[in-house]
Amino acid sequence: MSSTLDAIKDKQSLYIKASPAVTYGAFAAIGVGVVVAAAGFGTGQGTRVWGAYLFNLFFFFALSFGAMALAAITDVIGATWNRPIRRIQEGFGSFLPVAAVLFLVFFAATALNLGHGKDVYSWIAKPESIAHFRGKNGWLKPGLFYARCAFLLLGFTYLAVWQLRLSTGRDQLWVDGKDAEAHEKGEEVRVKTRFWSAPILIFFGVGFTFFVFDVTMSLAPTWFSTLWGGWHFAVMMQTLMASLLITSFILKGNTFLGDYIKRQQLHDLGKLMHGFTVFFAYLTYAHVLTYWYGNMPEETSYFIARLERPWLYFVFAIPLLGFVFPLYSLIFKASKWTSYIAIPIAGTILFAQWCTYLLIVMPQTTPTIAPFPWVEVGLFVGMAGAFVSTFLVFAKRHPMLPIADPLLAQALDDGHH
């Protein structure tokens, strides 16, 4: 085992025990979300509440799903650069089962029309609206829709839990003082995950594409995009890198884990965030250009509806905050590893992509969010509280450094690749 790791004497220092203020703050955030949702239902804005619930849930689902996809990507190629921050990714991924349950609650509301949940998807409320669209009228049937989404959520959750158990199980052997067994298990898991990560990624890629087709694209049932899955992947990975960068800075400054998060990990996250910024912009431009020269009513109507107030403001803000600003500000090396520069850039990206998800969902569920999007912000606070609470539970139960991962030793002793 790495000589660097052998220096660790206090095993408990690898766990994160959040202060009561942080823990209670996360629970209070969940309470805010519940209260805001109740107020929305009480004021007759049920469809708006479920729309806000959906896009905020999808925002955090994408962070957790993207984290496990990134884990599989780095496993299949044997990458070492991210090993010191691997457990942060897995902490994000621990939210995936929670997100699956919250999605099932949402689907139950649409099926049972709880709080006007059926109106979120117009083709469920009014099946005749797509009766003349061949293909769609066969694909978009409530029973098949719920079955597909449940199957995919079950598959995502099962594979994510399998990944997490393998990764954390070997570390528990080390915590229990079984160094030889931990070393043997670590190598066994490395080989197993490298083999199985390729088929996992195939399922993740195909499954995620169909999931976003059903959950978000079908909100506008007469509209379609063959780029939708890839575009969502670009948004997901840009927000994931921004979230990992912010979390790494927080943990670097406040925990023992900070000794193992080097400038290089921050730089690599910043480079990936920069790269996915360009990829997101490229696929967005490809969307708009294709629909512009196609000039087909069922395609252009989706964009025309979003060129009216208040959605127009988001149309202008998203490319400026999510592309132009980070594109140029991340050119400089220091902007990727300097906290007071990188954190505001990453935070701006997260806000821009939150607006992106809002722009996808809310125009289909509510005519306006003026004068202030209190429902949307309140549900974000609630979902953020659930995400942070899940991360803190994970960090309290598992070492936040993958100590028995043989690739971690390589990353710390021999550099990274």
Whether 152 is covered by a domain: the verdict is: yes
Distance in angstroms between the alpha carbons of the first and the last residue of the chain: 19
Q: What is the pLDDT of residue 72?
A: 94
Count up the domains in the chain and report the number: 1
Type of residue numbered 90: E
Q: Which tokens hold the place of 258? A: 């900070």
Q: Which domain holds residue 193?
A: 21-414
Q: Is residue 261 part of a domain?
A: yes
Q: Which residues 6+ apart lie within 8 Å of 252 measured at CB?
A: 258, 261, 266
At position 367, the amino acid (one-letter code) is: P
**pTM, full prediction:** 0.93
Chain-centroid distance, C-alpha 228: 16
Q: Establish if 12 belongs to a structural domain.
A: no
Residues 163-190 pLDDT 10s: 999 988 888 888 887 878 878 888 888 8
Q: Are 81 and 385 in contact (CB under 8 A)?
A: no
User: What pLDDT is attached to residue 417?
Assistant: 44
Nearest by Cα to 373 from 303, 308, 311: 311
Closest CA to 376 of 405, 351, 413, 401: 351
Express each pLDDT in 30-64 by its tens digit.
999 999 999 999 998 899 999 999 999 999 999 99
Assigned domain for 9 exists:
no
In a domain, 1, yes or no: no
DSSP character for 116?
G
For the chain, which ranges sit under pLDDT 50? 3, 416-417
Q: What is the DSSP string of 28-84?
A: HHHHHHHHHHHHHHHTT-HHHHHHHHHHHHHHHHHHHHHHHHHHHHHHHHT--TTGG
Per-residue pLDDT at 207: 96
The answer to the question of residue 161 being in a domain is yes
Residue 58: inside a domain: yes
Q: CB atoms < 10 A from the CB of 343, how many?
A: 15
The pLDDT value given to residue 372: 85
Q: Give the separation between CA 299 and CA 290, rounded to whole angstroms.
A: 10
Instruction: List Cβ neighbours of 67 (8 Å cut-off, separation of 6 or more).
Output: 89, 90, 92, 93, 240, 244
Domain for residue 66, yes or no?
yes
The pLDDT score that the predictor gives to residue 8 is 66
